[in-house]
Amino acid sequence: MADFINNIFGIGDSWVGYLIAALIAAVLILHVVAVGALLFIWMERKISGRIQDRLGPTRVGGKYGWLQTLADGIKLIAKEDITPDLADRFLFKIAPYVGLAASYAAFIALPFADGVVAQHVNTAVFFVLAVLGLEVFSVILAGYSSGSKWSLFGAMREAAQVVSYEVPLGMCVVVPVMICGTMNLTTIGNMQAGLFTNWLVFNDPFTFLTAIIYFTCATAGVNRAPFDLAEAESELVAGFHTEYSGLRWSLFFMAEYSSMFVVSALASILFFGGSHGPIPVGQWIGETIGGTWGLSISRIIGVGNLLLKGLIGVTVMMWIRWSFPRLRIDQVMTMCLKYCVPLAALGFIGATTWQYLDLPTANSLVGNPRYEKHEMWTEGVGVTPAADAGPASGIPDPEPHSEDKTANTDSVTVKTLPVSVVKGGER
Amino acid sequence: MATSKIDDPRVIEFDVRTDEMLINMGPQHPSTHGVLRLVLRTDGEVVSDVEPHLGYLHRCAEKIGENLTARQWVPYTDRMDYLAAMNMNLGWSLVIEKLLEYDLPERGRHLRVIISEMGRIASHLVAMGTYGLDLGSFTPFLYGFREREKILNLFEEACGARLTYSYLTPGGATADLPVGWTDKCRQFLNQFKEVIPELHTLLTTNSIFVSRTAGIGVMSAKMAVDYGCTGPVLRGSGVYHDLRFHGEERYTEMYEGYVFDVICADPETGEYPESNYEFHGDSLDYPEIPRQAILGDCWHRFYVRMLEVVQSVRLIEQAIEKYEATSGDWGTPIKLVQKLPAKEAYMETEAPRGQMGFYVVGNGDSIPWRVRARSSSFCNLSVTAPLCQGILLADIPAIVGSLDVVMGEIDR
């Protein structure tokens, strides 16, 4: 976007373009976070209401209570911001912002569609997970600084739980990365274009398993029930946010809901086709219209797809939350260390073996011209070794970006480097 | 040197030693069921000692009873176990009737069975729902309250109140059941029977629920008897004791001619008795007992309540038929100022939470000389401290919730 802006103003490769692009991206993402949180909290209330045989909000903003969260937000802003006497004032005040900043920053590398991303990051998967992992700091800081024993309990639980669950989560994320040979989320998403059978979740039984484990670990990673031990209200009153009030309290919720969306969107990119719908309508429309307009329309449809998939993931998390009791801390750790880690390892080893032995996959069954396109792609980019190495080592070769994508092909050169490295290693 | 220190095992032990922490749980805490205060001594998540503190809801109910006439005190019994106020009314009514040697007409007897068993269902629904809440599951709570709401609607129709009924009074009830009430009640029961399997799915057989409750807070039959536990807490430990069967004659004759089971596992086999009650067209399916469950643990206490609800449905169905078949008087409430003979009377009834006893001494005046209540929750709560030793913090709500205490009844 920065180049585009610089071109408009004709100022060459200036920092002004980058600044403007960054601001635009920041504002857009802030809207995703803030409006998303509004929507998700409203959704949570409505969904929980329906699950529990009641109506949920019905008054504010019409029949369906659309504006209930906004009204609550106004109430929360107007509330007194209390800092307990025993609190470590600085840490207490800064903690909610740390959490929100972490989950906000994760959106930077999250591609909403092909090319619709704030910043192209070659190691986007790594970046998103790493930044999202920082969210645990806010909980630990909040719990530690509150000066309340209940908060401290919540923080300690969070520290134990989230840190443990990052291990299987990372192992699950490695599987799509290994299959696609890149850590770039845009590339991973683009490789799954076409029918839904191209989604990596259908690549082989092990990716299916991995997808399920990823979702479980992601639920635990963002502290959703049945893993919401840090804020277990029946045990710890409200856990780490016991002492918070007003806006600071609501920031924790915004962070929680936006990181719920991030992990769901990440799941949909890694396993469920990213911005591609089950039937490639958007792609077809884009190709029919052609040109910039076609590209824009297909991108908008792609953004819609990704948001929808993220919403579905969030809805499933809410559904789980309102159906299940909470686990105990030792059971949460047992689940992680005794079940999730071995299963994730099994998924990883299985998927690797599957790729190595070149066993049949659903992804290549639908006449998707992966292999033909692969050569075009490598010719264009000029990484010749990968062209013959791919089929030989049994790694299904990634599909190229859509042809009309020009701006990103340059960066692909860099991104494909891990492919050859991985393959070299496997030989 | 640091290495030499690590070689010494005692030093390592000293390095990782943790401090104990005293935590105050309650009286304002979401899962202490009212105003129970627990002082916990914890080492990290492990709780080594729990001490319950009572008295935050003490309202001198017994002393007030010594300043009011017998009928005037009925509303105060409502406020003891406010979740099963009908059963509290019944207990007080029966003891006054015993003192006055008053015999209830048959219609009133059946009416009382209907009402008190409905009260039991309503109370167990709350117990079930809040237990889910204690374990972090919010939805069963609302399912329970949805059904309880229907019972409260029926109660409201019968007596005008939804929480503190004062409906059953010494001498009978304040009024007969309204016309058409029994049909509505039957309708409710038919609909409610459909809901019970739903609740079983959400909680009883849910694997997370089982892992949270099975094998937790195991109380042997001996311990249950030693501590004076009653009701589902006692029967959950495999002690076959239900005052509706084993109580005083004045109480058990209320249930004469009724067919129902006492829900209690056989301590030898751990199996619950086969039910011969037609339920859903086929005989009642008890959900399978999970293999982790040990007789006397939280899961069994919960399970007993769930099954007792079914038995109450069964009792009400019979009672409605008997009630409709009899005609005539439903009993005459005693006068507001009724002279009590200079005698004493004590009687225990099977309230939803256990044996609720009332003791009254008359002195020839209308105002009793002494009024005392024996609370079931009080004895049930007394096992908290021995049960909650060496458990995890999250097990405390599980154990206290499974005892299903109501502080209004404990503190009176």
The rounded mean pLDDT for chain A is: 77
pLDDT digits (tens, 9 = 90+) for B166-207: 888 888 888 888 888 889 998 898 888 888 888 888 888 888
pLDDT value at residue A424: 36
Q: What are phi and psi of B345, to 5 degrees?
A: -145, 140
pLDDT surpassing 60 at residue A403: no
Q: Could you tell me which of A146, A336, A345 has the C-alpha nearest to residue A236?
A: A146
Contacts of B137 in chain A (CB under 8 A): 323-326
pLDDT surpassing 80 at residue A360: no
Q: Band of the pLDDT at A383, cuts 50, 70, 90?
A: very low
pLDDT digits (tens, 9 = 90+) for B33-63: 778 888 888 887 888 888 888 888 888 888 8
pLDDT value at residue A333: 87
How many CB atoms are located within 10 Å of the residue B50 CB? Answer: 21
Question: How far is Cα B317 from Cα B310, in angstroms, rounded to an integer?
Answer: 11
User: What's the distance, Cα to Cα, between the start and end of chain A in Å?
Assistant: 40
pLDDT value at residue B278: 65
Q: Could you tell me which of B242, B241, B225, B251 has the C-alpha nearest to residue B347?
A: B251
Contact status of B393 with chain A (Cβ, < 8 Å): yes
Q: What percent of chain A has pLDDT over 90?
A: 2
Q: Band of the pLDDT at A287, cuts 50, 70, 90?
A: confident
pLDDT surpassing 80 at residue A57: yes
Q: Which residue has the higher pLDDT, B60 or B280?
A: B60
- The domain total for chain B is 1
pLDDT value at residue A379: 41
Q: Band of the pLDDT at A371, cuts 50, 70, 90?
A: very low
Overall average pLDDT of the A115-142 stretch: 84
pLDDT digits (tens, 9 = 90+) for B79-118: 888 888 889 899 899 898 888 888 888 888 888 889 989 9
Question: How far is Cα B360 from Cα A407, in angstroms, rounded to an integer?
Answer: 91
Question: How far is Cα A23 from Cα A7, in angstroms, rounded to an integer?
Answer: 17
Contact status of B72 with chain A (Cβ, < 8 Å): no
Which residue range is the domain that position B133 belongs to?
Answer: 70-384+393-411
Could you tell me which chain B residue has the CA closest to the CA of A331? B211
pLDDT value at residue A83: 84
Overall average pLDDT of the B388-400 stretch: 85
Overall average pLDDT of the A188-212 stretch: 82
pLDDT digits (tens, 9 = 90+) for B341-352: 888 899 989 888
Q: Domain limits of chain A?
A: 1-77, 79-360
Q: A residues 142-181 near B, CB within 8 Å?
A: 149-150, 153, 156-157
Return the structure tokens found at A77: 């802003």
pLDDT value at residue A159: 84
Q: Band of the pLDDT at B255, cuts 50, 70, 90?
A: confident
Contacts of A225 in chain B (CB under 8 A): 136
Q: What percent of chain B has pLDDT over 90?
A: 4
**What b/e string do you get for A116-126 counting C-beta neighbours within 10 Å, with b at 16 or more?**
bbbbbbbbbbe
> Does residue B27 lie in a domain region?
no
Overall average pLDDT of the A273-289 stretch: 78
pLDDT surpassing 50 at residue B224: yes
Return the structure tokens found at B147: 């059904």
Phi-psi region for residue B378, left (φ > 0), alpha (ψ -120 to 50) or beta? Answer: alpha
pLDDT value at residue A419: 40
Contact status of A230 with chain B (Cβ, < 8 Å): no
pLDDT digits (tens, 9 = 90+) for A224-235: 878 887 777 777
Max Cα–Cα distance, chain B, nearest Å: 95
Please, are residues A357 and A216 in contact by the beta-carbon 8 Å criterion? no
Q: In what order do the strands lie in the sheet with B354-361?
A: B344-351, B354-361, B370-374
Return the structure tokens found at B282: 């086929």
The rounded mean pLDDT for chain B is: 84
- Rounded (5°) CA angle A194-A381-A427: 85
pLDDT value at residue A410: 42
pLDDT value at residue A364: 52
Overall average pLDDT of the A413-421 stretch: 39
Overall average pLDDT of the B302-313 stretch: 88
> Does residue B246 lie in a domain region?
yes
Overall average pLDDT of the A302-312 stretch: 88
Q: What percent of chain A has pLDDT over 70?
A: 83
Contact A235 B211 (CB under 8 A): no
pLDDT value at residue B14: 52
**What b/e string do you get for B334-361 counting C-beta neighbours within 10 Å, with b at 16 or more?**
beeebbbeeebbebbbbbbbbbbbbbbb
Overall average pLDDT of the A73-79 stretch: 87
CATH number of the domain where residue B337 is located: 1.10.645.10
Contact B23 A323 (CB under 8 A): no
pLDDT surpassing 60 at residue A407: no
User: What's the distance, Cα to Cα, between the start and end of chain B in Å?
Assistant: 64
Contact status of B394 with chain A (Cβ, < 8 Å): yes
C-alpha pair distances (Å), B49 with each of A305, B52, B398 = 54, 10, 16
pLDDT surpassing 60 at residue A41: yes
Could you tell me which chain B residue has the CA closest to the CA of A232? B136
pLDDT value at residue A372: 39
pLDDT digits (tens, 9 = 90+) for B58-86: 888 888 988 888 888 888 988 888 888 88
Q: Which residue has the higher pLDDT, B331 or B302?
A: B302
pLDDT surpassing 50 at residue A388: no
How many CB atoms are located within 10 Å of the residue A190 CB? Answer: 27
Q: Which residue has the higher pLDDT, B412 or A397?
A: B412
Contact B211 A237 (CB under 8 A): no
Least CB–CB distance from B136: residue in A156, A232, A330: A232
Overall average pLDDT of the B29-36 stretch: 78
> Does residue B368 lie in a domain region?
yes
Contact status of B135 with chain A (Cβ, < 8 Å): yes
pLDDT value at residue A1: 67
pLDDT surpassing 70 at residue B10: no
pLDDT value at residue B283: 44
Q: How many CB pairs under 8 A join A and B?
A: 83
Least CB–CB distance from B136: residue in A51, A157, A226: A226
Could you tell me which chain B residue has the CA closest to the CA of A326? B136
pLDDT surpassing 60 at residue A398: no
pLDDT value at residue B280: 57
pLDDT value at residue A391: 41
pLDDT value at residue A418: 41
* Three-class DSSP labels, chain B: CHHHHHHCHHHHHHHCCCCCEEEEECCCCCCCCCCCEEEEEEECCEEEEEEEECCCCCCCHHHHHCCCCCCCCHHHHHCCCCCCHHHHHHHHHHHHHHHHCCCCCHHHHHHHHHHHHHHHHHHHHHHHHHHHHHCCCCHHHHHHHHHHHHHHHHHHHHHCCCCCCCCEECCEECCCCCCCHHHHHHHHHHHHHHHHHHHHHHHHCCHHHHHHHCCCCCCCHHHHHHCCCCCHHHHCCCCCCCHHHHCCHHHHHHHCCCCCCCCCCCCCCCCCCCCCCEECCEECCCCCCCCCCCCCCHHHHHHHHHHHHHHHHHHHHHHHHHHHHCCCCCCCCCCCCCCCCCCEEEEEEEECCEEEEEEEECCCCCCCCEEEEECHHHHHHCCHHHHCCCEECCHHHHHHHHHCCCHHHHHC
Mutant choice from A148, A156, A235, A322 vs B, greatest count of B C-beta within 10 A? A235
